[in-house]
Amino acid sequence: MKKQHILLALFFYVCAVIYLCVTTPISPHEAKIFYTQNNVLSTLMHFGTDIFDGFLGFRVPFLLLGFISIGLFYLLSKNYFKKSQDTYLSTTIFMFLPGILTASTLVNIAILVLPFVLFFILMYEKGYFWVLPFVMLVLFFIHETSMIFFVAVFLYALSQKEKKLAIASATFLIAFVVLEKGIEIGGRPSGHFIEIFGLYASVFSPLLFLYFFYAMYRILLREKKTLLWYISFTALIFSLVLSIRQRVYIADFAPYVMIAIILMLDVFNHSIRVRLPYFKKPYLIGFLSVIAVLGVSTIIIVSHQFSYYIMKDDTKHFAKRIYEPYDLAKSLKNKGLKCYDNAKGKEVYQLRYYGIASCSN
């Protein structure tokens, strides 16, 4: 992949996420955060609305975090790959992951955590160890599920016999226990184990997730285990184990697994570059198939509004909960109504954003 190709891909990525930010109505999750929560996500949303109007306003901080994440991922890829074409390719795949596109568009914790995780790994790889405790402190306060991150760093530090890193990560793990923060574990065996595979497929795209699973397993058995692998693999195992007993929120784990694109491409390169040209054909066909499915997933996300409005039975569309309150609000306003009493759950907050209050208030 050449430099002009990644620049073209970056242009399409920027256009796609800005288009999605501007045209996608407020989601139930975003509306609830905006009106009911008092955390860093809510603070950033209100800060954005003071700068820009419309849907872009409350999303612009997260859009910028998405751009920062792409830049950090590019720098981290340069640190892993000797060839520029590999850096360009891994960054392009990363920016068009469904999980990255949606995280850069819809308000969620993943895109807030992701740049700090990338920055931590990059600083570690560069040898700037004095920065690491400060990044760990930020992750400790902004994301309770970052406990996974500290477990991974602790295990890596033990394996590499890095005492300072082990002590720092262990300190934060103890703090999680003392302050009773971290992952809530409960429930009883249920059907969420199968569900987690579907969630990962939606983050990576189906074929890419299968290769992610394979790459993690292959590195476990045969390859060098880096800090990046420890973070991604630990998050994967935690999510699978937790899903046996409870529902898993994929946004809590996405920042730690999506960065594995670097490892996946590295495993692929090791497989294909040691073979003669004749035996490379099946690998190239497989690679093109994965990229094709990823491309289809990207198109589905970017064109979801169009598909929603042309779909005959929109009740089965994945964006129904976003567009139904938006269309309802427009219909009520066209009738001169400013209140509505039949909204349920998070739909109440979505209608509130559009200026439709409850008639009983």
What pLDDT was estimated at residue 36? 92
Q: How many residues does the structure list for the chain?
A: 361
Tell which residue, 110, 268, 290, has the closest CA to residue 204. Answer: 290
How many beta carbons lie within 10 A of that of residue 26, not counting itself?
Answer: 26
Give tens-digit pLDDT for 101-117.
Answer: 999 999 999 999 999 99
DSSP per residue, 238-253? HHHHHTTTS---HHHH
d(CA 240, CA 246): 10
Tell me the average pLDDT of the chain: 89
Backbone conformation region of residue 242, classed left if phi is above 0, alpha if psi is from -120 to 50, else beta? alpha
Asked if 72 contacts 135 with a C-beta cutoff of 8 angstroms, the reply is no
Give mean pLDDT, residues 121-140.
94
Asked if 323 contacts 307 with a C-beta cutoff of 8 angstroms, the reply is no
Whether the per-residue pLDDT at 189 is higher than 60: the answer is no
Asked if 298 contacts 96 with a C-beta cutoff of 8 angstroms, the reply is yes
The dihedrals phi and psi of 56, each to the nearest 5 degrees, come to: -65, -30
d(CA 167, CA 198): 36
The two structure tokens encoding residue 354: 């559009």
Asked if 116 contacts 143 with a C-beta cutoff of 8 angstroms, the reply is no
> Which residues, in sequence order, are CB contacts of 225 under 8 Å at separation 6+?
156, 159, 219
What pLDDT was estimated at residue 228? 96
How many beta carbons lie within 10 A of that of residue 332, not counting itself?
Answer: 17
> Which residues, in sequence order, are CB contacts of 257 under 8 Å at separation 6+?
200, 203, 212, 232, 235, 236, 239
d(CA 147, CA 168): 13
Asked if 158 contacts 234 with a C-beta cutoff of 8 angstroms, the reply is no
What pLDDT was estimated at residue 196? 87
The two structure tokens encoding residue 280: 């490379």
Place of tokens 């998070």: 346
d(CA 266, CA 269): 5
What pLDDT was estimated at residue 278? 63
What pLDDT was estimated at residue 340? 86
d(CA 90, CA 92): 5
Give mean pLDDT, residues 18-40.
93
The C-alpha angle with vertex 56 and arms to 355 and 29, in degrees rounded to 5, equals 65
The two structure tokens encoding residue 227: 């800090």
Asked if 31 contacts 345 with a C-beta cutoff of 8 angstroms, the reply is no
Asked if 40 contacts 334 with a C-beta cutoff of 8 angstroms, the reply is no
DSSP bridge partners of 357: 339
pTM for this entry? 0.93
pLDDT, greater one: 28 or 190 = 28
Whether the per-residue pLDDT at 312 is higher than 90: the answer is no
What pLDDT was estimated at residue 257? 95
Whether the per-residue pLDDT at 191 is higher than 70: the answer is no
Tell which residue, 183, 274, 179, 263, has the closest CA to residue 223. Answer: 263
Backbone conformation region of residue 187, classed left if phi is above 0, alpha if psi is from -120 to 50, else beta? left
Give mean pLDDT, residues 281-308.
90
d(CA 53, CA 50): 8
Domain boundaries, the chain: 3-302, 317-353
Q: Poorest-confidence range of 77-91, 158-172, 192-206?
A: 192-206
